[in-house]
Amino acid sequence: MAKGYSIFSILKHALRPSEPWPEAWAKPEPKPNYDAIIIGGGGHGLATAYYLAKNHGLTNIAVLEKGYIGSGNVGRNTTLIRSDYMLGANTAFFEKSMQMWEGLSHELDFNCMVSHRGRVVVAVSPWQMDGFARRGNIMRLHGIDAELLSREELQKEVPYLDYSKNARFPIYGAIHQRRAGTVRHDAVAWGYARAASQLGVHIIENCEVTGILKSGNKVVGVETSRGKILSDKIGIAVAGHTSQVARMAGLKLPVESHVLQAFVTEPVKPICHHVVSWGAELFYMSQSDKGGMVFGGHIDGFNTFTQRGQFFKMKDVLEAAVSLAPFMSRLRLLRHWGGINDMTPDGSPFICTTSVEGLYLNGGWCYQGFKATPASGLTFAHTMANNAPHDLNAGFALDRLMKGKELDEHGIGNWTYKQ
C-alpha cells in the first residue's frame, strides 16, 4: 500500500494506465483480540481510530463496519460544516472541529475537498434579525467569525433569492459565517480510513456486530457475523443505530431514530456560491462541484430505520426550495435519499463513558454529525484512552439530562419560523 500521494505516483500511473492504483487501506482478516474495538466504520468511528493510534499510541485497534466504508450516514448527508452555535459547550466543540477541517487534507495527505464558501441564514422577520444579531455577538465574543448582512448586502452576495414584493416570506437580511462551507463526505471517510490503516488500525468491512459480550458489568468483546472478537475497550459510533447497539450491552438510551431526506438536482452552471439556509422553514442548499443543487429540510417526524423518505416531506422541502429560490422550480430532481438520525431530547450529542465498564458512547448527533467529525474523533479517542472526557466533550455526558444541564440550542434561540 502506498504511504503517500505525490506527483511522482501520479506520473507513474499515468504512464501505466492499465495497472490499478493500490488499495487506499488494507483489508485484513479480523484477529481474535484487540486492545480496542470501534463499532461503526463511518466518519466518527474512523476518526476515533485514527486519533487513538496517532495521539495515544494504541495501534491494535479494529474498526468494525457492517457494510462497506462510506455506506452509512457519512456518505448520506449534505456535507455542511459550520460553527455558528451559542451555548458554551457547543461553541467550543464545533469551532475546534472547524479549525481541524481547515488543515485536514494536509494531515491525512488526502484531498477532502474542504470548501470555505460561507453560509448565510436568511431572516424573514425583524425579530429573526434581532436573534441573529445576538447569535453573532456571542460567536464573535468566542473568537468565531460572524457578520450581520442587511437586505441590500445580502442581495449583492446572493442575488438569486426571491426579493420581490410578492415573496411568500419577505427577506430582511441574514447572518453570515464566511469560514463555513462544505466538504466532500466520501473523501472524509476514505482519508481517515487510509490514514488509520497506515498507522496499523484494522478496518474490517462486512462485519456486523450482533452482540456485546460482558463479564458482570464489564465488556469483554463482541459477537459478529465473522465470529467472536475480544476486547475490554469498546466504542459505539453507529449513527442512527445507536440505541439498538447500546441495547446489546443492556443500556436504554434517550435516543429516537428518524429519517432525514436530502436531494440533488441535475447539474447547472455555477450560481450558488454559498451554503444558504432559510429562517421560514428548516431548509438548506448548496451547489456541488458537479453542478447539482444539493438541499434538504427537516426530519420526517416519526421513528423509523428506513432510508427511504416520505412524499409529504419531499413536498415540504421542494416548496421551501421554490419559495426561497424561484429558479429551483425549473430544475429536474436527479435523486434523493435518506439517512437515519439518532435524535436526543435536547438536540446535542453524547460523547462519554457509560455505566458499563469499558463501554464508550458516541451518538445522538441529530443533524450535526458530519460537521463534527474531526473533533468528535479527537475527543472520543481521548475519552476511550483515558476513561475520562476531554475538556471539549465534558458537557456531552449521558447524565446531563437528569442533572438539568441540557444543551438545547433551539430552546434559547430558534433559527426557524415559529410554527
Q: In what order do the strands lie in the sheet with 283-287?
A: 147-150, 173-177, 119-123, 275-278, 283-287, 292-303, 256-267, 333-343
Burial label for 16, CB within 10 Å (0-12, 13-18, 19+), is exposed
9 inside domain? no
CATH of the domain at 323: 3.30.9.10
Average of pLDDT values for 364-390? 96
Shared domain check, 326 and 402: no
pLDDT at 210 over 60: yes
Residues in the chain: 419
Percent of the chain with pLDDT over 90: 80
17-38 mean pLDDT: 91
Are 295 and 380 contained in the same domain?
no
Q: Is the pLDDT of residue 414 over 80?
A: no
Dihedral sign of CA atoms 25, 379, 236, 396 in order:
negative
Looking at 9-23, 115-129, 161-175, 179-193, which range is the least confident one? 9-23
CA 237, distance to chain mean position in Å, is 12
| Per-residue confidence band for 10, with pLDDT thresholds at 50, 70 and 90 | confident
Whole-angstrom distance, CA of residue 336 vs CA of residue 230: 39
CATH code where residue 67 lies: 3.50.50.60
What is the structure's pLDDT at 20?
82
Same domain, 174 and 316: yes
Tell which of 322, 344, 366 closes a domain: 344
Instruction: Convert 17-49 to b/e letters by CB count within 10 Å (16 or more is b).
Output: eeeeeeebbeeeebeeebebbbbbbbbbbbbbb
DSSP classification of residue 390: -
Please tell me what DSSP assigns to residue 327: G
Average pLDDT score over residue span 384-388:
97
Q: DSSP letter at 73?
A: G
Q: What are phi and psi of 145, to 5 degrees?
A: -70, 140
Residue 5 has pLDDT above 80, yes or no: no
Residues 352, 390, single domain; the answer is yes
What pLDDT is stored for residue 411 in this prediction?
65
Chain CA centroid to CA 56, Å: 24
Residues in contact with 130: Cβ distance below 8 Å, sequence separation at least 6, in sequence order: none
- Are 191 and 340 members of one domain? no
Q: What is the mean pLDDT of residues 309-315?
A: 86
pLDDT of residue 331: 97
CA-only gyration radius of the chain, Å: 22
Q: Is the pLDDT of residue 2 over 70?
A: no
Task: State what percent of residues in the chain have pLDDT above 70.
Answer: 97
What type of residue sits at position 211? Answer: G
User: What is the rounded distance in angstroms from the CA atom of residue 220 to the CA atom of residue 227?
Assistant: 14
Pairing of strands 234-236, 36-39: parallel
For residue 26, CA distances in Å to 58, 228, 237, 288 come to 18, 21, 21, 30
Provide the pLDDT confidence category of residue 413 given band limits of 50, 70 and 90.
low
pLDDT at 409: 85
Residues 261 and 404 in one domain: no
Work out the pLDDT band at 95, boundaries 50, 70, 90.
Answer: very high
Question: Per the domain annotation, does 356 fall within a domain?
Answer: yes
12, part of any domain: no
> What is the reported pLDDT for 3?
56
Does residue 309 register a pLDDT over 80? no
Alpha-helix runs per DSSP H in 146-232: 151-157, 185-198
Q: What is the mean pLDDT of residues 333-339?
A: 89
The amino acid at residue 171 is I
The full 3-state SS of 136-157, as one line of letters, equals: HHHHHHCCCCCEEEEHHHHHHH
Query: If 0-12 CB within 10 Å is exposed, 13-18 middle and 19+ buried, where does residue 387 land?
Result: exposed
For helices 88-108 and 373-386, give the axis angle rounded to 10 degrees. Answer: 100
pTM, rounded to two decimals: 0.93
- Look at residues 275, 317, 237 and name the one whose alpha carbon lies nearest to residue 40: 237
pLDDT of residue 1: 39
Q: Is the pLDDT of residue 417 over 70?
A: no
The residue ranking higher by pLDDT, 15 or 351, is 351
Domain assignment of residue 108, yes or no:
no
pLDDT at 339: 86
- pLDDT tier at 9 (50, 70, 90 boundaries)? confident
Q: What is the pLDDT of residue 416?
A: 44
Q: Would 240 be classed as within a structural domain?
A: yes
| Residue written as grid cell 430544475 | 331
Averaged pLDDT score across all residues of the chain: 93
Domains of the chain: total: 2
With respect to residue 200, please indicate whether it lies within any of the assigned structural domains.
yes
- Indicate whether 139 and 261 sit together in one domain: yes
- The secondary structure of the chain in percent helix, strand, coil, rounded to multiples of 5, reads 35, 25, 40
Domain closes at, from 344, 363, 381: 344
Is the domain of 261 the same as that of 176? Answer: yes
Position 329 in a domain: yes
Say whether both 306 and 361 belong to one domain. no
User: Which of the four pLDDT bands, split at 50, 70 and 90, describes residue 308?
Assistant: confident
The answer to whether residue 325 sits within a structural domain is: yes
| pLDDT > 90? residue 72 | no
Residues 246 and 132 in one domain: no
Residue 419 has pLDDT above 70, yes or no: no
Distance of CA 332 to the CA centre of its chain: 27
Establish how many alpha carbons lie within 13 A of residue 418's alpha carbon, considering only the half-sphere containing its beta carbon.
9
pLDDT digits 0-9 by tens, 116-175? 999 999 999 999 999 999 999 999 999 999 999 999 999 999 999 999 998 989 999 999
168 and 267 housed in the same domain: yes
Residue corresponding to grid cell 458489568 = 217
Q: Rounded to 10 degrees, what is the CA torsion of 42, 46, 47, 51?
A: 160
The whole-number pLDDT of residue 6 equals 77
All 3 cell numbers of residue 61?
485497534
- Domain range for 242 is 25-79+185-254+346-411
Check whether residue 200 and residue 168 sit in a common domain. Answer: no
Among 311, 344, 377, the domain boundary falls at 344
Looking at per-residue pLDDT, the higher value among 408 and 215 belongs to 215
